[in-house]
Amino acid sequence: MMRATDQQSGQPLAEISRRALALRDDVIAHWMALARREVRGASHLPAPILADTLPAFYDSIARTLAPGCPRLLATEGNNAAEQHGGERARMTHYGPEQVIHEYQLFRDAIYEVTGAAGLSFDLYQRAHIEAAIDIAQRRAIGEFSTIHEELRRKLAATLSHDMLSPLATIVSGAELIGLATDVTAARRTSRKILENGQRLGHMIAQLLDALTVAGMDRLPLDPAPFDIRLLVRAVCEEFSAQHVRIEIEGGSVHGWWDFVQLQRALENLVRNAAKYGDGDAVTIRSAETHGRLLLSVHNTGNPIATDRFEHIFAYLHRENVLPVAGYGIGLPFVKSVAEGHGGSIVVDSSGPAGTTFLIDIPLDCRLAAGGRDPGD
């Protein structure tokens, strides 16, 4: 990580820096071996994710070992430590103690590898290394904590938002029972109220986990085999009680997915389609192609401008250009569900054709969920 000011100094690298840089790969390899053995949760991380920004940080340390370097410390003028902490928050199940442990082992790896190679540091250089690692550790932990808090806040907000759907069904069902004259219909509605009450209870439990359990920054997948048509019909029943007209196209598609998460994602898409459409029917389509599920929701009405496609998936972004405010939480959740299943969410919108959101995911999401290879 050489900055322009380093290159423009006109001074060749000091001998200590050249020798330290030559040992970079050995230091990182030794550090990775230590981390896999001693840091909880590191043993199964792929090498690129485990290494992260530490090779660049080591380069910065090596280049600033000699007096007279334009930078006093390796942490000056770069955000390698913050990026390391941020990626650990997003890409691993680490807690703060694991991040701290990594930096402690990084210090050990530097001294052990350089010492074995006959490279010794004077008091100034050791103080330089210690200070750089201490500062990087504090910055990484700060960013790690910030990212975790943001992720937990988003998850809590998303769960609270999605509670509106079963709550609306419960309220509508209670009203129907109050008007019912047929015992059979009343019992059918009662069962629907019970089912949605149980869903609401499950969401509240997840919300409490998100707010209280350390490291709960995303909902884990719970894959199970089912026919996507069953999920589509369940969603249609929910919205029929809310007087949303839905048309279903496509047949059965069998696969391994998380029923609860996919149901909530589809509910969000249908809710948005009804809110932003022109009052015509919402269409849900399901199809299978090349080992993937294509699950889409379509509505007619005002299109979404192409330059807004990325923005609508941003957390709490709202499309105020449309008659009805919204989008803020639902679409980011749909995106996270699609990506969590190993796929993606695609939007296609134009005036004549209407707007379609397409969930494109593998038929078997167990690999994305961290399970064994289905082919084993």
Per-residue pLDDT reduced to its tens digit, 195-218:
778 777 766 766 655 554 444 445
Considering only residues 363 and 86, tell me which one the structure prediction assigns the higher pLDDT: 363
**What is the pLDDT at residue 241?**
73
Q: Which residue has the tokens 């719970």?
A: 222
Residues forming beta bridges with residue 241, ordered by sequence position: none
- Please report which confidence band the pLDDT of residue 72 belongs to, taking 50, 70 and 90 as the band edges: low
For 310-356, what is each residue's pLDDT tens digit?
A: 678 764 434 433 333 333 457 877 888 888 888 888 888 888 889 99
110 phi/psi in degrees, rounded to 5: -60, -50
**What is the pLDDT at residue 216?**
42
Is residue 133 pLDDT above 50, yes or no?
yes
**What is the pLDDT at residue 100?**
95
Residue 26 CA to its chain's centroid (Å): 32
Is residue 361 pLDDT above 60, yes or no?
yes
- Quick one: average pLDDT of 66-93? 77
Residue 87 CA to its chain's centroid (Å): 11
- Angle at which helices 123-162 and 259-276 pack, to 10 degrees? 70
What whole-number distance in Å separates Cα of residue 297 and Cα of residue 209?
A: 31
**What is the pLDDT at residue 151?**
67
**What is the pLDDT at residue 253?**
96
Considering only residues 30 and 57, tell me which one the structure prediction assigns the higher pLDDT: 30
Neighbours of 202 (CB within 10 A): 13
- Please report which confidence band the pLDDT of residue 114 belongs to, taking 50, 70 and 90 as the band edges: very high
**What is the pLDDT at residue 369?**
63
Q: Identify the top-confidence range among 178-187, 198-207, 277-286, 311-320.
A: 277-286
- Please report which confidence band the pLDDT of residue 95 belongs to, taking 50, 70 and 90 as the band edges: confident
- Please report which confidence band the pLDDT of residue 185 belongs to, taking 50, 70 and 90 as the band edges: confident
**What is the pLDDT at residue 297?**
95
Instruction: Locate all alpha helices (DSSP H) within the chain, ordered by sequence.
Output: 4-7, 15-22, 24-38, 47-51, 54-63, 80-91, 96-116, 123-162, 164-179, 183-212, 228-240, 259-276, 330-340
- Quick one: average pLDDT of 233-259? 90
- Quick one: average pLDDT of 172-186? 79
**What is the pLDDT at residue 280?**
92
Mean pLDDT of the chain: 81
**What is the pLDDT at residue 71?**
62
**What is the pLDDT at residue 145?**
84
**What is the pLDDT at residue 345?**
86
Per the confidence metrics, is the pTM higher than 0.85? no
